[in-house]
Amino acid sequence: MEYVYAALILHKLKKEINEANVSSVIKAAGAEVSDAQVKALVSALADVNIEEAIKAAPVAVAAAPAASAGAAPAAEAKKEEAPAGKSEEQAMEGLASLFG
C-alpha cells in the first residue's frame, strides 16, 4: 500500500509520478523500496487518470456494503458493456495485481 500512498502524495503535490519520486517518498517514510514494485506501479499508472480514479473510488466503496446478492448480476452486466481496448478500469486491475 505504501507505493499507492506515495503516488497519491506525489499527485496531491502536483509532482511527477516517476520511479525516482516514488522511491524517495517511500524511503522518506522509512520503508524498504522494491524497485520491481515501483516500476510496476509507475507503469500501471501511466494510463490512469488519477483524478477520475479518486472520484470513482468512494462510489465503489460506498456501494459494496449495501449491495445484495441480487445486485451483483446488475454490476456484472455493466462491466460487460465496457468498450473494447485498454481502459482505465483495466489499468486499475493491473495496479491491483501488485498487491495480490
3-state secondary structure string, 31-81? CCCCHHHHHHHHHHHCCCCHHHHHHHHHHHHHHHHHCCCCHHHHHHHHHHC
Q: Are residues 27 and 69 in the same domain?
A: no
pLDDT truncated to tens, each residue of the chain (100 aa)? 899 999 999 999 999 999 999 999 999 999 999 999 999 999 999 989 998 888 887 654 445 555 555 555 555 455 555 455 556 676 666 666 665 5
For residue 92, being part of any structural domain is answered with: no
Q: Are residues 44 and 70 in the same domain?
A: no
Q: What is the pTM of this model?
A: 0.56
Structural domain for 44, as ranges? 1-48
Q: How many domains would you assign to the chain? A: 2
